[in-house]
Amino acid sequence: MWLQDLWFVLVAVLFVGYFILDGFDYGVGILHPFINRTDLQKRASLSAIAPVWAANEVWLVAAGGALFAAFPQWYATMFSGFYLALTLVLLGLIVRGVGIEYRSQDRSPRWRSLWDWLIFSGSLVITLIWGMAFANLIRGVPINAHKVYVGNFGTLFNGFALWGGLTFILLFVLHSAGYLAIKGDAGARKTGKALEGKMVWPTVLVMGVWFVWMDRLPASNGHVGVWTIGLQVVSLMALLLAWVATYVTRSKLAFFLNSASVAAMTVSLFTVLFPRVMVSSLNPLWNLTVSNASATTYTLQIMSVTAVILLPIILGYQTWIYWTFRKPVNDKELEY
C-alpha cells in the first residue's frame, strides 16, 4: 500500500533532519574537551550550538512519534530489543543537555571540568549507539516468528555495528568542525577549518569501508541497487568536495556539502532496508517489513493529514531559529 511506503519515506526524512542538525551538536560535544584549552574557548564552543541544540532534538521526537504511530510493530520490536542501548541514548541526552545548561552556573574549575566530560560522554555515547543501531537493523538481529527480539544487549556488539558507530562518530565530528568554522568565535572558526581539513580523509576511508562491508552482507543480497550505490558515492564525494571548499575558504559551502553527505548516507541506509524495516538473522521470512509492521490504513490516513499540518510548522520554526541566530559567536557576549 502506498501509504505504508510514504510513511517509510517520511521516517527516513525525519532521521535525515535529525542526523544533519543534531549531528553537528554531538560532534561539538565530542570535540569539546579536546579543541578548547581555555574556559573562554569552551564557553564559546557551547555558545555556538546553544540557541539550536534543543530545537534540533525535535526531529528525534518526531521520528520516534512517527515510528510509534505508523509502524507500531517496528517500534515495539526495536525498542524492546534495543532497550538498554536506547536507555543509554536517553541518559546521554539528559546528561548532555544538563551539562550544557549547568556548566557555567558555577565558576569552580572542578565543577566545569566535570560537566565538560559529561557533555563529551553523552555526545559520544549517543553517536556511537545510533551508528550501531542502524548497522544492526541492516545486518540483522535475532527476531523470531512472533516478531519478538530474542537476543540480548551483547548481541548488538559486532564488528559491523562497531564500525558503523565509528563511522557516525567521525562523520559527526567532521560535520561539527564545518559548523564551528562558520558559527564559532574567531578562534573556533580557525580551529574548525583546520580540523575539517584533517578529518576528511580518515572519515572517507572509514565510511567507504563501511559501505563496501554493508553491500556485501548476506542480509543485503538483492537489496543493494543503483540508488543505494549512487547515494553512497554521493556521500563520499560530498565530503571530498567539502574538503576542497574548505581549502579555498568557502566554509558555508563546505558545511552544506557535509550536510549533503550526512543526508545521502542516511537515505542509503533506508534504501538498503526497504521494504524491510528490521532484518531477522534467524529467518528471512521473519523480517519486519513496511507491510507487516505498519498501522492500519485509517491510522496512516489520519497521520498523513497531521503531517501535512505539522511538518511545515516544524520547518518554519527551525528556519526562524537559524535565521535569528545566523551570526557567528561573539566571545564578548557569551551566555554559556
Domain that holds residue 68: 2-277+293-324
pLDDT of residue 146: 92
Q: In Å, how far are 33, 63, 69 from 299, measured between CA atoms?
A: 46, 16, 8
pLDDT of residue 84: 92
pLDDT of residue 197: 87
pLDDT of residue 214: 97
b/e 159-192 (16+ beta carbons within 10 angstroms → b): ebbebbbbbbbbbbbbbbbbbbbbbbbebbbebb
Q: How far is 294 from 165, CA to CA, in rounded Å?
A: 28
- Is 64 inside a domain boundary? yes
- Is 336 inside a domain boundary? no
Residue 296 falls in which region: left (phi positive, over 0), alpha (psi -120 to 50) or beta: beta
Collect the ranges in the chain with pLDDT lower than 70. 333
- Is 332 inside a domain boundary? no
- Is 329 inside a domain boundary? no
- The predicted-structure confidence for 128-143, as pLDDT tens digits, reads as follows 999 999 999 999 999 9
E runs forming strands in the chain: 276-278, 288-289
- How many structural domains is the chain composed of? 1
Output the domain CATH number for residue 34.
1.20.1630
Query: Which residue in this structure is represented by grid cell 516544524?
Result: 314
b/e 95-114 (16+ beta carbons within 10 angstroms → b): bbeebbeebbeeeeeeebee
DSSP codes joined into one string, 169-191: HHHHHHHHHHHHHHHS-HHHHHH
- Tallying the residues shown for the chain, one arrives at 336
Q: How far is 18 from 262, CA to CA, in rounded Å?
A: 10
Asked if 30 and 173 count as a contact pair (C-beta separation under 8 A), the reply is yes
pLDDT of residue 207: 98
Nearest to 193 by CA among 174, 207, 169: 174
Q: How far is 251 from 65, CA to CA, in rounded Å?
A: 35
- Is 174 inside a domain boundary? yes
Q: How far is 305 from 283, CA to CA, in rounded Å?
A: 36
Phi, psi (deg, nearest 5) at residue 205: -65, -50
- pTM (2 d.p.): 0.95
Nearest to 253 by CA among 274, 266, 265, 239: 239
- Is 288 inside a domain boundary? no
- Is 330 inside a domain boundary? no
Asked if 228 and 272 count as a contact pair (C-beta separation under 8 A), the reply is yes
- Is 95 inside a domain boundary? yes
* Largest separation between any pair of C-alpha atoms in the chain: 61
